[in-house]
Amino acid sequence: MTSKLLIAAILGAATCAAPTWSAAADTVKIGCVAPLTGPQAHLGKDIENGARLAVDAINATNPTMGGQPVQFELLVEDDQADPKTATVVAQKLVDEGVKGVVGHLNSGASIPASRIYADNNVPQVSPASTAVAYTHQGFPTTFRVMANDSQQGKALGLYATRLGKRVAVVDDRTAYGQGLIDEVVKSVKESGGEVVGREYTTDKSTDFTAILTSLKAKRPDVVVFGGMDPQAAPMIRQMRTLGMKTAFMGGDGMQSAEFIKLAGRAAEGAIGSSPGLPIEKMPGGADFTKRFGERFGKIQIYAPFSHDAAVVLTQAMLRAGSTEPDKVLAALGKTKLDGVIGPIAFDDKGDLVDGPVTLYKVKDSKWEPVETIGGPQGK
């Protein structure tokens, strides 16, 4: 059945100049991949629902491609947040003839899958992967509608220097932690701050008293940590027991409910960043929440992003008037539209231009947004 549709689509594309042929609309397949089982299943479903809302809305406008009526069909796959499964389902989607993909969620899945999409000239727009490496592999097919870790590091560094000029950094020696802190260091120096100490730990440590004491001697105004919540929570506790009243900041690895649970009262005042805007602040947030709520219920995190990823992809095809990869990729690169999440345009790597990063602060055991850096508000 699907192969017949595919043939019909190809025939349709090939013969679109002949007006006599078209009785029914052509179908263009769009892939959508996210973890739909396992601990992140709720986030994956969020991505699927967001993309579905976008595709159905576009289909309802009776779009035409090269003068020919066209309908988009969403093919959904589960990558289980696993790099190996990600490549398997990527190949499956390619074999089924998708013309573009919304996905994946995890950087660890997006990166291996991106090679398969690139080899087959299928444009990929990730709604959630933030690792810098994803768009920096030299593939023309990789795009994302979320700020990357480099933009996040920049925002953290900028905000840190506003709290005080003397900044100390700690990273956990993982690709994520180290990459984030490298960007923070660069950004602190650019914003006129001084990096007074750089210490290291691992992603398995629980005792940070030695490195914190050594940082205490350097009298920093802010400590920025690149790593995950199981380290960030004991770290802020130990800072407080060492009598350090220094501000504590970190990236999205610690901007979690888990961090507050593990750090307890010590979490108060900690600052964590997360890519994107909080939904209340998104230009199309209120309307999207209403439309999404009527059909699917509560938004987790990623639905607005996957919605816009699907919009960006389908709009590029409609503007190109074709599903031919070269034309679609060229159109994608020139994307300039106002999505739910704000204005969307890509740089030459496929990264979101001026991707916004929001800083949150723990107040009464809850993360509360304090400021957004970059994006429409930053202008």
Partner 1 sequence: MDIFAQQLVNGLILGSLYAMVALGYTMVYGILELINFAHGEIVMLGAMVSVTVLGVLAGVGVPVALALPLSLAAAVAVCMATGVAVERVAYRPLRNAPRLAPLITAIGVSIVLQNLAMIVWGRQYLSFPPILDVQIYDWHGATVTNIQLLIVAVAAFTMGGLLILVNRTRLGRAMRATAQNREVAGLMGVDANRVIAATFAVGSALAAVAGLLIAAYYGIAHYNMGFTLGLKAFSAAVLGGIGNIPGALLGGLLLGIIESLGAGYIGDLTGGFLGSHYQDIFAFFILILVLVFRPSGLLGERVADRA
Q: Closer to partner 1 at the Cβ: 162 or 218?
A: 218
Sheet holding 142-144, edge to edge: 64-65, 68-78, 26-34, 100-102, 124-126, 142-144
Is there binding between residue 262 and partner 1 (CB under 8 A)? yes
Tokens of 309: 């990823």
How far is 56 from 106, CA to CA, in rounded Å? 25
Pairing state of beta strands 357-363 and 271-275? antiparallel
**Quick one: which segment of 12-20, 41-49, 231-239, 289-297 binds partner 1 (CB under 8 A)?**
231-239
Least CB distance from residue 304 to partner 1, whole Å? 27
Q: Closer to partner 1 at the Cβ: 125 or 212?
A: 212
How far is 224 from 222, CA to CA, in rounded Å? 6
The tally of CA atoms less than 13 A away on the side-chain side of residue 278 is 13
Nearest to 12 by CA among 22, 3, 20: 22
**Quick one: which segment of 83-91, 99-107, 229-237, 271-279 binds partner 1 (CB under 8 A)?**
229-237
**Quick one: which segment of 157-165, 179-187, 199-207, 302-310 binds partner 1 (CB under 8 A)?**
199-207
Ramachandran angles phi, psi of 178, nearest 5°: -65, -45
Q: Give the one residue of 19, 138, 192, 243 binding partner 1; rule: CB under 8 A.
A: 243
Is there binding between residue 245 and partner 1 (CB under 8 A)? no
Is there binding between residue 261 and partner 1 (CB under 8 A)? yes
Least CB distance from residue 366 to partner 1, whole Å? 16
Q: Closer to partner 1 at the Cβ: 206 or 377?
A: 206
CB 98 within 8 A of CB 75: yes
Is there binding between residue 210 and partner 1 (CB under 8 A)? yes
Q: Give the one residue of 73, 82, 96, 199 binding partner 1; rule: CB under 8 A.
A: 199
In 10 A of CB 112, how many CB atoms? Answer: 17
Ramachandran angles phi, psi of 7, nearest 5°: -60, -45
Beta bridge partners, 343, equal: 338
Lookup result for tokens 């988009």 = 72
The interface with partner 1 within residues 139-168 (CB under 8 A) comprises: none
Is there binding between residue 237 and partner 1 (CB under 8 A)? yes
Task: Specify the DSSP class assigned to residue 351.
Answer: P
Q: Closer to partner 1 at the Cβ: 53 or 169?
A: 169
- Where on the chain is the footprint of partner 1 (CB under 8 A)? 173, 198-202, 204, 206-207, 209-211, 213-214, 216-217, 230, 233-234, 237, 241-243, 258, 261-265
